[in-house]
């Protein structure tokens, strides 16, 4: 059994269990009205006595918490009730004093007294085999603490927390007890619900040697040791300035990039949160945690910043109707594609410095090419356009025979090109070739033996090689 007095000796404690308290208790309780109820009380005693001795694991109750309960039990005048409340929760117990008084009949679950987290309760164990029960409400999952002490050699105090009707399941799990300065504190991992503290005097002599001055004190506390669930986070992209999601209601949610805190905010009563952050680069891994009011921190949720920002529009070097390569600059490592209308002419990956070179088939002059860049996330840039420049001169024109009576030079040249007839550097005339490439250039009649040169110039200004012909006699 776990007993508050190891070695079988009772230690007389003072403090809250003062003579004033004794007098008050004697005046408010009807001593001797409680009678043993045979089997019913015996079952309760056996259930309470069945508590197996188990030392509390080191660190389960921090020294400050233990001291708070100890001070509450001993009634130190310097102890602050408000400070104790920070550790626990308030219940319905009321008193104008610093403690509550046991009120009989409280020998079973249905008649149990209400225990207060903010005030200890003073009681008596009279007559022989008396069993006292106290009801305690655990507001949420956490550690239920039960502390007890006695001022009497006649009381061999034993107490334990149980579920109603001594039901046993995972809702209430005994963690162990810690004993110091005649005060025992027991700890239980409890789920939200109502529990009961049973108190007995083991009284090894089985004689009723308790008097009105033989008192015990019981105190309860609650510690929230359950960390919040891992938050859920909505997707985050490289345009976002706010992170949203869900976490434990009223918890403080924090967003970090590595060890750097980007922002934090309190979740609403419904558990939603919205945290302002600076825009993050695509691929950045963010961690999000929730911390409750007791300082318990959840495991971290992680989210990687998505890339939704398309690359900038590529820049393209000029392309002519001789070129078999399109070059320029685009986002580093993006895939650059060249199209003629909907037809892809070629694509290639830009270098880490953003330069690209794409092989294509030679395109006709005037063809409009569209060039786009796509990043690794599939975002496509707006298209850069370039028109294929004409740098290829027309073919050398053909010329019909010209005699010294002719005032027209005829032949064939590139369709729609401008055909010019010269003698030396002197232009005799020019005309535009038809869409079928025939031309007819008016000139003055030239002397026999005169050499004429004929060239064709396209609309891009490219001039063909010259064709020559000698004027013959008619």
Give the per-residue pLDDT at 32: 35
**Assigned CATH for 315-387:** 2.60.40.10
DSSP string, 91-129: -S---SSSSEE--S--SSGGGPEEP-SSS-EEE---STT
Give the per-residue pLDDT at 205: 56
Q: Which residues of 195-223 are buried (b: 16+ CB within 10 A; e: fewer)?
A: bbbbbbbbbeeeebebeebbbbbbbbbbb
Q: Give CATH 2.60.40.10 domain extents, the chain.
A: 232-304, 315-387, 398-470
Give the per-residue pLDDT at 299: 97
Give the per-residue pLDDT at 179: 84
Token output for 357: 């070179």
Give all strands of the β-sheet with 260-266 in edge-to-edge order.
260-266, 252-257, 285-291, 301-304
CATH class of 6-223: mainly beta
Q: State whether CATH 2.60.40.10 applies to domain 398-470.
A: yes
**Rounded to whole angstroms, how far apart are CA atoms 224 and 250?**
14
Give the per-residue pLDDT at 82: 35
Helix, coil or strand: residue 377: coil
Give the per-residue pLDDT at 19: 33
In 3D space, the residue among 107, 154, 131 whose CA is nearest the CA of residue 9 turns out to be 154
Q: Give CATH 2.60.120.380 domain extents, the chain.
A: 6-223
* Burial (CB count <10 Å: 0-12, 13-18, 19+), residue 295: exposed
What pTM, to 2 d.p., does this model score?
0.64
DSSP character for 367? P
Helix, coil or strand: residue 376: coil
- Residues in Cβ contact with 417 at an 8 Å cutoff, skipping those fewer than 6 apart: 394, 432, 433, 456, 457, 458, 459, 464
Give the per-residue pLDDT at 153: 82
In 3D space, the residue among 212, 243, 268 whose CA is nearest the CA of residue 19 turns out to be 212
Give all strands of the β-sheet with 272-276 in edge-to-edge order.
232-233, 242-246, 272-276
Each residue's pLDDT, cut to its tens digit, for the chain (474 residues) gives 222 222 333 333 333 343 334 333 433 343 333 344 555 566 677 777 777 677 777 766 667 776 777 677 765 333 333 332 333 333 334 444 678 889 988 999 999 999 988 889 999 998 888 899 999 999 989 999 999 998 888 888 999 999 999 999 999 999 998 888 788 899 999 999 999 999 998 875 566 678 888 889 999 999 888 899 999 999 999 999 999 999 999 999 999 999 999 999 999 999 999 999 999 999 999 999 999 988 999 999 999 999 999 999 999 999 999 999 999 999 999 999 999 999 999 999 999 999 999 999 999 999 999 999 999 999 999 999 999 999 999 999 999 999 999 999 999 999 999 999 999 999 999 999 999 999 999 999 999 999 999 999 999 999 999 999 999 998
Residue 360 Ramachandran class (φ > 0 left, ψ -120 to 50 alpha, else beta): beta
Placement of tokens 């039960």 in the chain: 146
**Rounded to whole angstroms, how far apart are CA atoms 146 and 136?**
10
- Residues in Cβ contact with 63 at an 8 Å cutoff, skipping those fewer than 6 apart: none
How far from 119 is each of 219, 286, 366, 412, CA to CA, in Å? 7, 45, 93, 116
CATH class of 232-304: mainly beta
**Rounded to whole angstroms, how far apart are CA atoms 339 and 368?**
9
Residue 187 Ramachandran class (φ > 0 left, ψ -120 to 50 alpha, else beta): beta
């Amino acid at each position: 059994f776990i007993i508050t007095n190891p070695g079988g000796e009772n230690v007389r404690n003072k403090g809250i269990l003062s003579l004033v308290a004794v007098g008050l208790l004697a005046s408010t309780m009807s001593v001797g009205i409680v009678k043993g109820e045979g089997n019913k009380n015996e079952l309760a005693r056996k259930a309470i006595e069945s508590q197996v001795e188990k030392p509390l694991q080191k660190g389960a109750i921090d020294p400050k918490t233990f001291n708070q309960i100890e001070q509450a039990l001993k009634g130190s005048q310097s102890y602050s009730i408000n400070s104790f409340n920070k550790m626990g929760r308030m219940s319905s117990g009321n008193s104008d004093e610093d403690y509550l008084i046991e009120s009989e009949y409280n020998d079973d679950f249905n008649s149990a007294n209400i225990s207060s987290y903010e005030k200890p309760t003073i009681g008596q164990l009279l007559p022989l085999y008396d069993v006292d029960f106290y009801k305690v409400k655990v507001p949420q999952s956490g550690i239920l603490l039960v502390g007890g002490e006695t001022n009497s050699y006649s009381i061999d105090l034993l107490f334990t927390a149980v579920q109603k009707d001594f039901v046993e399941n995972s809702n209430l799990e005994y963690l162990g007890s810690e004993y110091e300065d005649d005060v025992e504190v027991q700890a239980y991992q409890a789920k939200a619900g109502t529990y009961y503290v049973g108190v007995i005097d083991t009284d090894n002599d089985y004689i009723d040697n308790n008097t009105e001055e033989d008192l015990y004190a019981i105190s309860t506390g609650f510690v929230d040791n359950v960390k919040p669930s891992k938050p859920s986070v909505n997707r985050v992209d490289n345009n976002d300035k706010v992170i949203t999601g869900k976490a434990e209601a009223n918890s403080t949610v924090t967003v970090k990039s590595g060890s750097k805190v980007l922002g934090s905010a309190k979740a609403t009563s419904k558990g939603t949160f919205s945290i302002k952050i600076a825009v993050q680069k695509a691929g950045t891994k963010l961690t999000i945690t929730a911390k409750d009011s007791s300082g318990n921190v959840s495991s971290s949720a992680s989210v990687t910043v998505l890339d939704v920002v398309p690359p900038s529009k590529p820049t393209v070097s000029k392309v002519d109707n001789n070129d078999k390569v399109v070059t320029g600059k685009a986002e580093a490592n993006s895939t650059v594609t060249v199209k003629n209308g909907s037809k892809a002419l070629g694509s290639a990956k830009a270098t880490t410095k953003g330069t690209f070179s794409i092989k294509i088939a030679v395109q006709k002059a005037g063809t409009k090419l569209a060039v786009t860049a796509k990043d690794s996330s599939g975002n496509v840039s707006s298209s850069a356009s370039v028109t294929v420049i004409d740098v290829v001169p027309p073919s050398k024109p053909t010329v019909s025979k010209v005699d010294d009576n002719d005032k027209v030079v005829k032949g064939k040249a590139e369709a729609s090109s401008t055909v010019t007839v010269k003698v030396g550097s002197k232009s005799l005339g020019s005309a535009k070739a038809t869409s079928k490439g025939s031309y007819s250039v008016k000139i003055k009649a030239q002397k026999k033996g005169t050499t004429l040169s004929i060239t064709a110039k396209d609309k891009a200004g490219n001039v063909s090689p010259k064709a020559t012909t000698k004027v013959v006699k008619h």
